[in-house]
Amino acid sequence: MSSRRPAVEDSDHVSLLRSEISEMKKAALNNGPGGHGGHNGLSNDGADVSSSPALSFEDLSHTEQACASLGAAPEQLRPLGWLNAGHFDQLVKNNQMDDILVRRLEAYKIVAERS
């Protein structure tokens, strides 16, 4: 037989934590990524903020600085599909992959090519 638990009243500590969390959520929604109201170039009220000041090199994270230092435009970087395909073919020829996995990957390739 099951019994219902008595209603537990929120303690002051729980209420304080909940209010702090809701304030942080509101602040995060208002500030958004990049310091403006959203990540799509629009603020929360729909105003265009794409003309906001650009970040300097020092404002970027270490990883972003490394990417910016490559000296190549993002359009010039190409995926390594040919390398992945060669490695896959080598694994299949050497029988180093499960047959079921190979069939699933081949089926995925066919479906991906059609769409």
Residue 23 lies in a domain: yes
Residue 56 lies in a domain: no
- Total of domains in the chain: 2
User: What is the residue range of 47's domain?
Assistant: 11-51
Residue 36 lies in a domain: yes
Say how far apart CA 76 and CA 28 lie, in whole Å.
35
Say how far apart CA 35 and CA 47 lie, in whole Å.
14
Residue 76 lies in a domain: no
Residue 60 lies in a domain: no
Local confidence band at 38 (pLDDT 50, 70, 90 cut-offs): very low
Residue whose token pair is 């435009």: 73
Q: Which two tokens stand for residue 97?
A: 């992959």
pLDDT in tens, 45-97: 455 555 556 778 888 888 888 877 877 776 777 777 888 889 999 999 999 99
pTM metric for this prediction: 0.34
Residue 4 lies in a domain: no
Residue 38 lies in a domain: yes
Q: Residue 43, SS3?
A: coil
The CA radius of gyration of the chain, in Å to the nearest whole number, is 26
